[in-house]
Structure 1
């Protein structure tokens, strides 16, 4: 009696659709015999039958929620049996339905769950083939989400697995190649997409074996040529694809897309008559589906038509968009409701779950205890590491304070020595020169013109010497520019490291920066950032020139470090210890860090810190 209610509903609604399907009839007869009469203990048979019923709905394009319902039922029974391959197969079908209904998150979750289950099984042909289907589904999902790099990653996984399977149907490999080409087209990497389409079209038997797929590939190939502005073979390729697809299914999905592409092509060349013809043709076929293709046709017509007609199509587009959104949400809600209803089967496992409860509790207790022990050990290690870093930081600061203190002592001694020399020159040498000049001047009493002229020259020269000494005295008595000690330390660091690393440097400083007002902490971090940056450039950049500049503008201090090295992709590169250290030091002084890099052009690190 446990499946009686479900199957009464099922046979009342779908029994007629299996009248010509001998295999399914045998399964239904089995269910009638074993389930409705309450004599069945073969859960695997029931699960397999649910799966086959779901396959029937899917293959015959009947109600999606009916297929979804039976896949869910099959999944639950497979779970009770711990049949991992059965669970994965049901989840794959559920994920496919969710993808078609735009429940991309649900499709992604179920696909990964199915792959995880298959990873636990031996790598048989069926297991690997099912994996390839799941990765293909993930590739389509991420393409729809416009995460094209991820999409390519999973499509390539799928293709790799398919190519490793001996005797696999070539059509399945072609499907993956077409999907990969489609993603590259979305990425606007048209030449790569064209190469994939060419690989598919090399099969001369494809048009006979799979004419509908051949038309799809040919249309995608033609549209890629159009997007890449390679128009020599257009629109003939579109017409070839349309002719083939009309011969197979004139009102099918491929026909809609090809007519849309033709309308787009003619509209681009301002052939409004042809553009309208194919656009309306696509719209009329799409009406039967009432889906996104009809949306695209209405949007296309709103661009091709003019005036009120264009506005009319645009309004229809908005109305249909809202309607489809509500329908998709309703379908997702219905799927959730079906999942909730099928969860009832799990109630049969309550008794077994209770018997295993103590084992579960003990296991969980052990896991939690182990986890807590791990946390304690990990936290202790982290504390030791943080303590070491703190000690290192304090040591760095102490060392640098000693450097600054020593530099101040040197500057003070230098200033005192200059002052002493200045006083010596002023009071001693200048006094004597002044006296000599007066003596010569007083002797300038001779009437001999030559003697007078000679003495005058001596006197003039003594005046010149006097002025020069006074000038030297004044310069020696002038103190150094404030903060030049820190700049000298930076210059010494840069000179030493660039010489050791073997590249040139340019160091530009701004005299407006008052380093005396900057805290030792700030100067320590600036010193270490420059040191770390030079080390990173030496290790990774292969640079020949490094430019370092200090500037102050609008109370913002700016440090720029630029090299002409190989560069790297900032978005993809993993941040190493060097970059983490730099970022940590910038955060310590409450600054902003930006890194700009181009391959083969170099890298620029910019650090900004407010001075107010």
Structure 2
């Protein structure tokens, strides 16, 4: 009975120990993810997340692994690094599926769809959004509105307008009546589909509905679409109605949306030009020109310059007409010439078949084309002269800049050579000391030990045996110090072997534990000797500083090799220091010089009583 009770107690203790360890790992992983989300630095947040992945994998906790990989995607996306986005999302999706974390599965499918859409892979994007829709129907997680809206948008991009309208209407039926933002968005999208399929009455209906929900013009492009639809319908009194509509828009507080303002004033100028109100048209075109920006297409800009040139010609200001014509020419002179030539060739053919009067009119138009070509040649020549002047000025400026950059480069190289020479001298001196220790003091200790053992063979004295054992320990310690100082020792071992032995040495000599991580470990077998040498010396110096100054009990060393760089993350729980006030010692100066010689970056984050974090990035 007593034995059974003891076994129950032992089992409960073991069970509690396992549960407690798992709980600590869960808590650590969660805290690391939170730390990553609080950091603006990609390297620091990435390190925290990889540490979280490592801890969550030991349990394993698929929900935390999903969050960690999903956050890696978010951080890289926010820093405009898109190469690894699909990989991180696929890893997050794998763990979300394995852990039956369906909300995470739906998020991953949605974001994979957005990634594929950004890559213009619309077929694959549709596949992922369809998967997200299936998860929604099965588990009621995610946004029904967002999924159907994106599926509708992707079908429209592929000219599958019937399917696009189906999903837009499904999304529309799902939203609340008072959700005006979503109502506006969907009415605009449906109207655009009808416009593209030339169903202008339906397009007008949905654009009108969006406008009725948007009295403060939060979506200005709707009004442009609405006016273009009215122009396509070409109903009686359309010009008068558009004039009054544009006037009404102008009287409202217009948004600071330059492409909307560009189109608004362009349409207004076109209207006044049709009504032969040239001064008003000129003012509208000038306002449109002021609002040209990157969102305005070159074809729209070309149309503005063409209309402005014709307007100035009608007014009689030929100088300004030529100015706008020149702008138009620089935008699309080759396309313009081809289009006009094709047009005139078509007219000539038609008129040759018709009657002689039409042939005469064609000849006149050909003369106009020839005159236009001559004008283009003149303008092209002037443009070439201006271009050559700009090229000459730019070349002169570039040469001066290159000279300045060359001087800076030479100064930088000189500084690096001095630093490398200093580091080389230090390494040579270390190597010399290592040889002296090994060949001098080490040899003497070894000889003394052998003599004592030889004498003790006769006397079998316990004290002599103890002294011999202590000499053996001293010799081992001296040999370890000699190895740490020796260059040959570093060259003959991999980085993983060097750091493992360094960890063992400091854990034996010091009062702190060391957690060492190389990820992925196999990649460090192929780094060059210079990088390996400097990394080893940097970590050796950091551990030495921790032992001398930090009073730490725990040290964490994480080295991650990514595509373009090696990231070293060193953290201790010691007493910390004020980075701005603490003078730099020789050890820290040596670390900075080694990092600089590798063209790397060094970041130190430390506060009193809160430990220290050192982050080093070295390009590969």
TM-score range normalised by the length of the shorter chain: 0.3 to 0.5
TM-score normalised to the size of structure 1?
A: 0.38
Q: Tell which structure's C-alpha radius of gyration is larger.
A: 1
Q: Which of 1 and 2 has higher RCO (CA within 8 Å, sep 6+)?
A: 1
TM-score normalised to the size of structure 2?
A: 0.38
